[in-house]
Amino acid sequence: MGPGQAGEETVAVSDELFAHLPNGLDLCHQTFGDPRDEPVLLVMGLGGPMTWWPQDFCARLARRGFHVIRFDNRDTGRSTKLRHHPVTRADLLKAYLGRGTAPYGLDDLADDAAALLDHLGIESAHVVGVSMGGMVAQTLAVDHADRVRSLTSIMSTTGRRRVGWIHPLVMRTMLAPAGRTRPEYAELSVRNGKVVASPAFPTPDDVAYARALETYDRGWIASGVSRHMMAVLTQPDRTERLGAVTVPTQVIHGTKDLLVHRSGGRATADAIRGATLLEIAGMGHDLPAQLYDTFVDAIAATAARAR
């Protein structure tokens, strides 16, 4: 079933397509809306496939006059998995303590996103990133400034260790086993998701369970999550470099975020000249359906400032 709702304009949705990048990786991607409209590139966070940007959300954004692009980062969904770069629990603990190196960094993920735009023939786009995706979006705005028309950074941080920290309880949850079977994975995803979810905007268990099954079926692998974690834990402090970002920027953060403390959002807004900060009371570290219109309104207003 397409994303169009009863009584609403139906939005064109592409098949899941593949971009073969110059670095040898294949990225799975999908578009919503009219290719003649202004492009919006959605960058998902740690371990999340592109389907964590729900079709309903993408369709709402497309109805606002945008050509929406979502994609699976490397090591997620149907994109290339780098299984030949194993990461151990000990590696993660070292990185958490500020030591160790990662198989790849946020700059590599930003390069992937820029290469996807090349593949699609898009010179620049409005870039929206959530969590790790916000870090990637920030990096894209720094390393590929000419590719970013506007920036929306959601529940993310600058890489400075004194801000945007992880609550110790959440770190233990992230390091816990994710389940050995499809049902176990889904059940644990629902349970663990509640640790970081928005207390004021709950997601029904059946919705979270269905999303977990879809995530598993599209190619979830634990080692991919670990490599993403290493990229996040070893990221550089971008604060000074973010001072060079000149595009319109919106920062969004929840007041109840246990995975990336709200100080990360404030630091991001402080680092980028002219950035606006929207703090949402009761929002945790997820994208609740109750807030889709809030996010879409903020993205559209930020894009309008770039025109």
Helix boundaries (H) for 5-159 = 55-63, 89-96, 106-120, 132-143
By three-state DSSP, how is residue 121 classified? coil
Question: CA-to-CA distance for 93 and 91, rounded, in angstroms?
Answer: 6
By three-state DSSP, how is residue 124 classified? coil
By three-state DSSP, how is residue 291 classified? helix
At residue 233's C-alpha, the angle toward residues 287 and 217, to 5°, is: 50
Instruction: Report which secondary-structure segment, H or E, holds 305.
Output: none
| C-beta neighbour count of 104 within 10 angstroms | 20
Tokens representing 37?
């409209």
Residues labelled as active-site residues? 131, 257, 285
With CA atoms as reference, report the closest residue to 18 among 2, 29, 33, 10. Answer: 29
Pairing of strands 249-254, 148-154: parallel
| C-beta neighbour count of 163 within 10 angstroms | 21
Q: Could you tell me how far CA 241 lies from the centroid of its own chain? A: 21
Beta bridge partner(s), residue 39: 67
With CA atoms as reference, report the closest residue to 17 among 109, 120, 125, 108. Answer: 120
Side-chain-facing half-sphere of 50: CA atoms under 13 Å? 24
